[in-house]
Homo-oligomer: A and B are copies of this chain.
Amino acid sequence: MKPEFSEDFRHDFQTLLEWRRDVRRFRTDPVPPETLDRLLHLADLAPSVGNSQPWRIVLVESAGNRDKVIETFEAENEAAAQSYADEKAKLYRQLKLAGLKEAPVHLAIFSDENPEQGHGLGRSTMHETLAYSTVSMIHTFWLAARTEGIGMGWVSILDPEKVCRILQVDDTWRLVAYLCVGFPEEEHIEPELERTGWQSRSPLETRLFRR
């Protein structure tokens, strides 16, 4: 009954983590609907506080809605570019930070801030665990997609309130992420921000403490 995972599986699981990547360069060919459906069902196995499953997944299909989301990305991306100076500003403008125009699938992921499910368990002192549960769902989707050769990019350079208004969602829903999904144009083991010289990763040891 209890599953055992093989050394081979663990090796490939490490490869999955190493190659996951935030993808911003997509091919435009579609993701088969049955694949997307399978990935969403896998993501739905994610942990949630009090078993509340607070994630609300919106498939953004209308071209009009997508255009409005792209508009808020472009406005906020321009504002961000202006907040940097000199070389960093120049570099920022060269980065490709989203694949919104090319990605065949757009998913807007919200977290219900007041779900009935779960009966409030586990979130009275740390209400943010609802949004954290939703992040676990997104991360599960990300890994599951990668196992099928599908890439995901997490767009956070957006006005979250505007996205809520564009998509006309319930008042209790909070935007957690806007996801681009599709087949990647290229595959890399190093993050794009590392390859472009924006920010490299640093050793784990700098983040580990004992008390």
Tell me whether A53 and B202 are in contact in the complex, defined as CB-CB below 8 angstroms, given that A58-B211, A76-B124, A124-B79 are known contacts.
yes
Chain A 71-99, CB within 8 Å of chain B: the 1/0 string? Answer: 00000100110011000100010010100
A122 neighbours in B (Cβ, 8 Å): 97, 156-157
Interface pair A199/B119, CB less than 8 Å apart:
yes
A46 neighbours in B (Cβ, 8 Å): 17, 139
Interface pair B42/A15, CB less than 8 Å apart:
no
**CA of A17 to CA of B137, assembled, Å:** 11
A84 neighbours in B (Cβ, 8 Å): 119
**CA of A145 to CA of B56, assembled, Å:** 28
Chain A 120-147, CB within 8 Å of chain B: the 1/0 string? Answer: 1111111011011001100110111011
* Residues 154-177 of A contacting B (Cβ, < 8 Å): 154, 156-160, 167-169, 175-177
Kindly provide the distance from the CB of A207 to the nearest chain B CB, expressed in whole angstroms. 6
Interface pair B202/A132, CB less than 8 Å apart:
no
**CA of A19 to CA of B83, assembled, Å:** 45
Of B13, B65, B144, B198, which one neighbours A121 at CB under 8 angstroms?
A: B198
A61 within 8 A of B: yes
Interface pair A125/B50, CB less than 8 Å apart:
no
Interface pair A157/B125, CB less than 8 Å apart:
yes
Kindly provide the distance from the CB of A208 to the nearest chain B CB, expressed in whole angstroms. 5
A18 neighbours in B (Cβ, 8 Å): 45
Interface pair A191/B55, CB less than 8 Å apart:
no
Tell me whether A199 and B14 are in contact in the complex, defined as CB-CB below 8 angstroms, given that A124-B79, A208-B59 are known contacts.
no
A101 within 8 A of B: no
Of B169, B193, B211, which one neighbours A167 at CB under 8 angstroms?
A: B211
Interface pair B126/A160, CB less than 8 Å apart:
yes
